[in-house]
Amino acid sequence: MRIATLLRAASIALIAIGAVGFQEARADSGTISLTVFKGGWIIGGSGGHGTLSFRGRSYPLSVGGIDYGLVFGGSKSVLHGRVSNIKRASDVAGVYAAAGAGLAVGRGVRAIVLTNQNGAVLELSGRQVGLMANADLSGLAITMR
């Protein structure tokens, strides 16, 4: 009888430890909004701000980056979307790299998927306003404020 009680207690403890470990290892997702101003002539730069909503809290973000290639003009992009594969809010911070091409004259639509070194995946779409032509390599850094 005593051995059965010990085995039951040990089983319950192992299940509880496994459940806690599973909760820690499971990645989650949130929503993100970014406003990015971009401008340049051959070499361009971008900067802006945004908000991450994750597990019921809002986190302010800063955005900055550099572009190299064919970059001409200036634009403002307002992007909304989803960030996935994060375990904590700070996982969204990091450097995102992309190669792309685009043209915006007046108003346009923009969609992009980016991944950083922490494995965070941004799926963004929104509108772009301005005069911008680009075929470039770009890097975007997101930091938590």
Q: What is the CATH number of the domain that holds 129?
A: 2.40.128
| C-alpha span between 139 and 95 (Å, rounded) | 7
| Residue 123 covered by a domain | yes
Cα angle: 36, vertex 39, 43; to 5 degrees? 120
pLDDT in tens, 83-123: 999 999 999 999 987 766 666 677 777 778 889 999 999 99
Do 38 and 44 contact (CB within 8 A), yes or no?
A: yes
How many structural domains compose the chain? Answer: 1
Give the pTM. Answer: 0.74
Structure letter (DSSP) for residue 117? T
Higher pLDDT, 55 or 3: 55
| Residue 3 covered by a domain | no
**Which domain does 50 fall in, by range?**
28-144
| Residue 78 covered by a domain | yes
pLDDT in tens, 44-71: 889 999 999 999 999 999 999 887 777 7
